[in-house]
Amino acid sequence: MSRIIVAGAGHGGLVAAMKLAAAGHDVTIYDRQKENEYYLDQIDFFEDASMTYAGIEIPERYRAKKNNQLTFIANGEDTPRLTLPSGEIVSTLTADRKDLHDYLLGLALQNGAKIEYETEITAPVILGSRVAGIKTEKGEIYADLVIDACGVHSPLRRNMPSFTMIENEPSQYELLHTYRAYFHNNKEMHIPETDYNLYLTEDGTVGLMWLVTEDEYTDVLIGRFHKTDYSELAPQMLKIYELNPHMGTELLRAGYFVDIPVRQPLAVFVADGYAAAGDSAFMTYPLKGSGIAFSLRAGTMLANTVLADKNGLYTLETLWGYEKTFFKEIGNTACRLALAEIFLNYLTADEVTQMFRRGFVSTDELASFSKGAFEAIIKSKVFPLIKSKMQFLNDMPELKAKFGALLSNAVTFSTSVETAFPNNYNRADIEKWARKYNEFFKLIRRKDELAPAEK
């Protein structure tokens, strides 16, 4: 039996806690929150297969009551909108964030894990080459293994020494600062025909915005690649009200600013005595950051690897299998999506609008990409699709060149970076690979994107 710390009650950490405690390990979860409090007051969508993958029963209340029909909206009144056909959306669950947290935590506790609330973690305890525990405001706590599920601003990841090869901070364009808010609906006003609208670009600034109209509320999310505040978003909100008169001004829930990582996963997220799962290792869908599914899967992979380490060593070597499984099943595809995300940052609002006007991607094509989103993403159908569409852009050489660069980056990634991943543990090979991976992503980002993200 090993003593295992789950640092932060993130989704991947809770799944790992459940499985490791069930196998007889002494697992304690430490979180800064108070009991029965949760820092996000929102509703999330996530893929149901990830719960099955983690061996967790899906509560009926999470089954989506309606099919969110996604509509993409570009600039300009006269630009055609793209609405995915009904019934073509991935099998999605809808859960209140606190409910999901309580459910996963309940399973971990039922299986024998313990939790200590109101414990602010500040850094890892490093002894020699090993993470030997966590530093907290209450003192140091030691363990055989520390699972980092502290989320995007993890103080463990940020303070890992350089010899671990773990990147401490994301850069500016790798973090989306988002405003999330739920407003009441004015039911006497016209309710929009499309209920799940994704505004690809709005005022030419880089970012995204969605507006989801449910029966009782309208859910707004605005994302920016720099620290933002109410005063900056005020004109944006006014525009949203103009376009959506049904949206009331009474704030029902949320109304906060939070950060989502939208980048490739960490090159290395395991070390002697340490493994990260979830946002702490940037395991999100790089285009939109919906990382619950990735976290649930990663927590499962990590638990399986820990259970296979019968000697309880938990070293870079014995934990490498977790990293290998993650990259094979999720990480490499997440990297391709990161390439697409970087590419989108290069597009101007006008170019996106032109693509819509010219029917660069049809509704059916988008639908087939979105259908079973996880599966489609895994198969990365988007790059062959883009290739076949390049002739649409013959009279837009700049845009065509940008697509050309995207495809060339995708090819370099597949033929040079992905293939360099060390399937068998060898520290020198891991160092070589991590350097190659990090340099590749640095090289394809513009200089101004590489400034450290504001927190």
Ligand X SMILES: Cc1cc2nc3c(=O)[nH]c(=O)nc-3n(C[C@H](O)[C@H](O)[C@H](O)COP(=O)(O)OP(=O)(O)OC[C@H]3O[C@@H](n4cnc5c(N)ncnc54)[C@H](O)[C@@H]3O)c2cc1C
- Site residues (vs ligand X, CB under 6 A): 8-12, 31-33, 39, 44-46, 119-121, 149-151, 155, 178, 180, 221, 258, 260, 278-280, 284, 289-293, 295
CB of 247 to ligand X, least distance (A): 18
Query: In the complex, what is the shortest distance from the CB of residue 280 to ligand X, in angstroms, rounded to a whole number?
Result: 6
Asked if 183 and 251 count as a contact pair (C-beta separation under 8 A), the reply is: yes
Give a three-class secondary structure readout of the chain.
CCEEEEECCCHHHHHHHHHHHHCCCEEEEECCCCCCCCCCCCEEEEEHHHHHHCCCCCCHHHECCCCCCEEEECCCCCCCCEECCCCCCCCEEEEEHHHHHHHHHHHHHHCCCEEECCCCEEEEEEECCEEEEEEECCEEEECCEEEECCCCCCHHHHCCCHHHCCCCCCEHHHEEEEEEEEEEECCCCCCCCCCEEEECCCCCCCEEEEEEECCCEEEEEEEECCCCCHHHHHHHHHHHHHHCCCEEEEEEEEEEEEEEECCCCCCCCEECCEEECHHHHCCCCCCCCCCHHHHHHHHHHHHHHHHHCCCCCCCHHHHHHHHHHHHHHHHHHHHHHHHHHHHHHHCCHHHHHHHHHCCCCCHHHHHHHHCCHHHHHHHCCHHHHHHHHHHHHCCCHHHHHHHHHHHHHHHHHHHHHHHHCCCCCCHHHHHHHHHHHHHHHHHCCCHHHCCECCC
Which residue's CB is nearer to ligand X, number 197 or number 353?
197
Q: Which is nearer to ligand X, 11 or 336 (CB)?
A: 11
Residue 311: CB minimum distance to ligand X, A:
28
Compare residues 23 and 258 and give the one whose CB is closer to ligand X.
258
Q: Taking the complex as a whole, how short is the minimal distance between the CB of residue 120 and ligand X, in angstroms?
A: 5
- In the complex, minimum distance from the CB of residue 159 to ligand X, in angstroms, rounded to a whole number: 11
Of 282 and 433, which has the nearer Cβ to ligand X? 282
- Minimum distance from CB of 276 to ligand X (Å)? 9
As measured in angstroms, the least distance from the Cβ of 331 to ligand X is 15
CB 218, min distance to ligand X, A: 15
Residues 151, 280: contact at Cβ < 8 Å?
yes
CB of 412 to ligand X, least distance (A): 27
If the CB atoms of residues 222 and 399 are measured against ligand X, the closer one turns out to be: 222
Q: Copy the structure tokens of residue 404.
A: 């050309």
Question: CB 58 → ligand X: shortest distance, Å?
Answer: 15
CB nearer to ligand X: pick between 181 and 200? 181
Which of 155/207 has CB closer to ligand X? 155
Pick between residue 179 and residue 440 the one whose CB is nearest to ligand X. Answer: 179
| Contact predicate 240/220, CB 8 Å | yes
Report the residue number, 120 or 364, with the smaller CB distance to ligand X. Answer: 120
Report the C-alpha gap between 268 and 432 in whole angstroms.
11
Min dist. Cβ of residue 278 to ligand X (A): 2
Nearer to ligand X, 143 or 221 (CB): 221
Of 115 and 145, the one with the shorter C-beta distance to ligand X is 115
